[in-house]
A and B are shown apart, each in its own frame.
Chain A
């Protein structure tokens, strides 16, 4: 389905697959920045994992971060809680993303790394660099459509300013 060409220890990723993966990474960020948060869980397969962890914990092999969802249901619950339960000052994100580094460990799983910067704008206009870091993704194809199996968000800073309710 996705042509594989073995090249000295790494696996070549065809242009068509690369384009689809890059689109997924871009569409994901636009959905969040455009407040289409109900679409967010739909970027994942049902049995998925989404975690936000700081670089320090990640490098030490510690497990806990500031969000840890291990099913699509938990992603949906996060968004429903944001809309209906949680109290916070209205704000939005703007994701700025690097080009993605894509590799492939087996036939069906693509490892994708993308750096990001998130600027947070509060309702009164205060803007700040809210978060910078790297997405470490495992992407699979279902019916020719790429989806996240794992999205590990590794943040450069240990600090979260005030709170984090919108996913990165």
Chain B
């Protein structure tokens, strides 16, 4: 038998500004994360309420790597239930989505209602009075595991924790405000897809929070001279550092001018877009925000990149793999023209996004690069060593440090 690795990871002295390589590969640490983070004091995003719009509608997904069912019960309440029969641990829902009035395990026909209460057990009284469950078997003790649920602006969250604060308190006002802004008008789903990545889930979440790399790794805008002109931007962090928003606001230039097709074509040196309508947009938000990437701890993202709106959820799939689920959406108010603009701009995001595709590959390179020398660490010191509530400009890694603050809080490092 392989020797089990019981040695805890040793955290270096420089707080949240140095991250040990081992944290991205260690299988024991991965198991700890499932317990201390994904079943710990956090709210996990699990889906949108329009995916379970009718009573009996269900979808299956994961919190961490625990399979869960998200459903709307017959009283129209959203329930999130661990997808595992109390009997022998079989998955109750096999399909990714569907509609059902009850939950029945196909293996031995144990039947549950949509609140997870065990209603009947096949051959519970035996066959011809032979066999059957013991007399003291009490169905009430063997319901499915039901989680705390919060639905906010159509976003469904669930938690294993009895102690975590109510969702909006846990998020804080600033985070709630951005969700209101991006999602509050209602969502019309335009598409969903998944990106499977050969790296630990935390490497992707660091990337999401890393505004320093944006203009360096992603060369599309620079190559085609799509200038962002004068923009101010920065980082906002929740009080405890766990959640973040990195944003840009067009300051003096109106967006119409900024993405003027003629101006793009007028550039003499370098490349120009043959079809500059790709970057055409409209000023959607009063506040002038042109970009806002928000992450709520640990693995959920609300995205506004120009007029491209999306939700992303990064699911851990073992220590060295993860799956990024995308929900791309518009609003019920969109005109046809605005929807077409969102569709065009979708070319910038996702696994085939001309701007964002690199985010899918850089994590895998770090995973390979940090395979050995586990005592070594990464350096996350751009803009300081600690976690401040806000920062101006892009040359900072403060929101990555915020992620690690949340991580250490949960994991007990």
Contacts and interface: CB of A to CB of B under 8 A. Distances in A.
Interface centre among B339, B347, B360 (most CB of A within 10 A): B347
Interface stretch (A12-20, A23-31, A72-80): A72-80
Interface string A40-73: 0000000000001110110000111111111111
Contact of A163 (B220, B275, B323, B352): B352
Given A84-B223, A87-B361, A89-B361, A71 B351 contact: no
A54 B198 CA distance: 21
B406 to A, nearest CB: 27
B285 interface: no
Interface in B287-332: 323, 328
A74 B278 contact: yes
A141 B201 CA distance: 49
B351 A65 contact: no
B351 A66 contact: yes
Given A74-B275, A77-B278, A87-B358, A63 B351 contact: no
Contacts of B198: 161-162
B194 A158 contact: yes
A18 to B, nearest CB: 32
A96 interface: no
Interface in A116-167: 158-165
A85 interface: yes
Interface residues of B, number: 40
Give the interface size bracket for A toward B. 35 or more
B343 A64 contact: yes
A86 B358 CA distance: 7
A162 B361 CA distance: 6
A150 to B, nearest CB: 15
A83 to B, nearest CB: 10
A81 B223 contact: yes
A121 to B, nearest CB: 16
A168 to B, nearest CB: 10
A64 B96 CA distance: 20
A86 B351 CA distance: 12
B166 interface: no
Interface of B: 189-198, 217, 219-220, 222-224, 271, 273-275, 277-278, 323, 328, 339, 343-344, 346-347, 350-352, 354, 357-358, 360-362, 364-365
Interface of A: 52-54, 56-57, 62-74, 76-78, 80-81, 84-89, 158-165
Given A86-B220, A86-B354, A159-B323, 14 more contacts: A52-B352, A54-B193, A62-B191, A63-B339, A63-B343, A77-B354, A84-B271, A87-B362, A88-B361, A89-B361, A158-B192, A159-B194, A163-B352, A165-B352
